[in-house]
Amino acid sequence: MKDKIIVGYTTGVFDLFHIGHLNVIKQAKENCDYLIVAVTTDLEVQNVKGFLPVIPFEERLDIVKSIRFVDQVVPESDVNKIKAWKKYKFDVIFKGDDWKGTKKWKNLEEEFAKVGVKVQYFPYTKGTSSTKLKQTLKKIRNKDHIE
CA angle 92, 93, 99 (to 5 degrees): 140
Residue type, 85: W
Stretch (H or E) spanning 96: strand 92-96
Please state, as a whole number, how many other Cβ atoms lie within 10 Å of the Cβ of residue 141: 9
pTM over 0.75: yes
Q: Which of 33, 55, 46 is nearest to 133 (CA)?
A: 55
Q: What is the pLDDT of residue 131?
A: 64
CATH for 7-146 is: 3.40.50.620
Q: What's the farthest any 2 CA atoms get from each other in the chain? A: 65
CB neighbours of 3 closer than 8 A, spacing ≥ 6? none
Residues 109-136 have pLDDT tens digits of: 999 999 999 999 998 776 666 666 666 6
* CA atoms of 52 and 49, how far apart (whole Å): 8
The residues spanned by each domain of the chain are: 7-146
Residue 98 has pLDDT above 70, yes or no: yes
* CA atoms of 43 and 52, how far apart (whole Å): 8
